[in-house]
Chain A
Amino acid sequence: MVISKKVEFSASHICRSAQLTDAENERVYGLAANPLGHGHNYVVEVAVEGEPDPVTGMILDLKRLKEILDERVLEVYDHRLLNREVSPFDRVVPTAENIAIDIWNRMVSCIGERARLYSVKVHESSDLSVEYRGES
């Protein structure tokens, strides 16, 4: 069984790779390569898999999941310029793909015993989302 929780944060980012030339960055990322940055209201959906506890009826206490999201994601990401203020985006381009992987890495070890992290979905806009389910 899978449960998911959704949170939102607002952040800015610059889609440019240090390994590409200016022309290549502009070709690959288009307007998103603007060196002064732009931003999004990101929606993150985190899904957790497990069997409900026979006593509580819960896979994972949703209050606890919200606390983990607050500590591990929102406090780190909300109202930030990702390239400057969130590791690893000083080295890795903060695309929606890399954000999903980073959120996975920040959360995977702290979900608890009954449950395991199932997927991290990052919606960058209403028509673009990516999903990461770990290395399996």
Chain B
Amino acid sequence: MIVRLTRRYEFFASHRLHCSTLTEEQNREIYGKCNNPHGHGHNYEVELTVQGEVDPVTGCVVDISALDRLADDQILTPFRYRNLNEEVEAFRTLVPTTENLGAEVDRRLRAAWPGAFAGRGPRLEKVRIRETERNICEITHTR
């Protein structure tokens, strides 16, 4: 029986949406007030959905503490209380939109996943990142 489990995490960070290959005017037009030179910030929520068989002994689809450690090492510690543009390597060149942030979270988790779960166990199905109540990005991997 395949079961999906979703775990939620939160971090607070600041960012500025600005693309260096566009003009100042284009940036203002595309990103609006998110282009404010001093930046602004959000309470980001990350939801990770994992999918797999329920272990008959533990009754669990995923070792939650292993997932928490992975989220802590790969996302929360590097992003929490940070200025994303200045302090996260990927966003020195990429604009930290919700889409790019979701993709970076997804990339980091996938890279570290085999190490955390020793090649067995659950599969990361979906990364969902909520920037505000009204702005949510989902990255889904279907097999």
A residues apposed to B, CB below 8 Å = 8, 10-13, 31-32, 34, 36-41, 78-81, 84-85, 125-126
Residues from chain B with a CB closer than 8 A to the CB of A80 are: 36, 38, 40
A32 to B34 Cα, complex, angstroms: 21
Residues 55-85 of B, flagged 1 when their CB comes within 8 A of A and 0 if not, give 0000000000000000000000000111100
A10 to B130 Cα, complex, angstroms: 13
A47 to B99 Cα, complex, angstroms: 36
A8 to B43 Cα, complex, angstroms: 12
Residues from chain A with a CB closer than 8 A to the CB of B43 are: 39-41, 125-126
The count of chain B contact residues (Cβ–Cβ below 8 Å) is 22
Contact check, B82 vs A79: say whether CB atoms are below 8 A apart. no
Contact check, A85 vs B12: say whether CB atoms are below 8 A apart. no
Contact check, B13 vs A85: say whether CB atoms are below 8 A apart. no
Give the total number of A-B pairs whose CB atoms are below 8 A apart.
Answer: 77
B residues apposed to A, CB below 8 Å = 10, 12-15, 33-34, 36, 38-43, 80-83, 86-87, 132-133
Q: A39-B42, A41-B133, A85-B38 are in contact. List 18 more A-B contacts (CB 8 A).
A: A10-B40, A10-B41, A10-B42, A12-B14, A12-B38, A37-B14, A37-B83, A38-B80, A38-B82, A39-B15, A39-B41, A39-B43, A40-B43, A79-B40, A81-B14, A81-B39, A84-B38, A125-B12
- Grouping DSSP codes into helix (H, G, I), strand (E, B) and loop, the A interface class, with mixed when no group exceeds half, is strand
Give the top 10 A-B pairs by smallest Cβ distance, nearest first: A39-B41, A12-B14, A81-B38, A12-B41, A31-B81, A36-B83, A39-B14, A79-B33, A79-B40, A38-B81
A13 to B81 Cα, complex, angstroms: 10
Nearest CB of A to B73, in Å:
16
A41 to B41 Cα, complex, angstroms: 7
